[in-house]
Amino acid sequence: MTYAAKNLTTGGRELIAFRVGDQEFCVNIMSVREIRGWTPATPMPHAPAYVLGVINLRGAVLPIIDFSARLGMKPAEPTVRHVIIVAQVKSQVVGLLVDAVSDILTVSDSDIQPTPDIASDFERSFARGVLAIEGRMICLVELDSVFPHEEREAA
């Protein structure tokens, strides 16, 4: 069952936790390039709703994904308080719009519990496990699956 268990056999790892709405998520710190404030994005024609557009990241064109909308939750209304997590997904660099970065966690494999058996395949497709930290529940996200395949194939 657990991709997480297989994937995480290497012992302690560091994760970046962030908040979207009232939920907390985390991603592997190794895939995060930088964290920056929100700047208005240039909308892209014919883009999925969760693609807010592109911004200029020191000369590179960086697509911005509304993480909340991507997960099917309420679309974000970006403000200056929002942050963009610049992450490397395969060979591409993308920006994830989230409400706030909350924590840097060092966890061991045993802390990661397998994703609970829930009905929706959609949630299961990006969740790689859950963590219980100080009474909070943090969902470990697999970035590869946050970005749809057809998009990468088209590129």
- Residues near another protein (CB under 8 A) are 39-47, 53-56, 58-63, 92-94, 151-152, 154-155
Here the tokens at position 80 are 């200056």
Shortest distance in whole angstroms from residue 51 CB to another protein: 8
Closest to another protein by CB, 45 vs 135, is: 45
Shortest distance in whole angstroms from residue 60 CB to another protein: 6
Shortest distance in whole angstroms from residue 106 CB to another protein: 30
- What would the DSSP string read from start to end of 56-95? EETTEEEEEEEHHHHTTSPPP---TT-EEEEEEETTEEEE
The Cα–Cα gap between 101 and 121 comes to 26
Shortest distance in whole angstroms from residue 64 CB to another protein: 10
Ramachandran sector of residue 134 (left: φ over 0; alpha: ψ -120 to 50; beta: rest): left
Closest to another protein by CB, 1 vs 154, is: 154
The Cα–Cα gap between 117 and 124 comes to 9
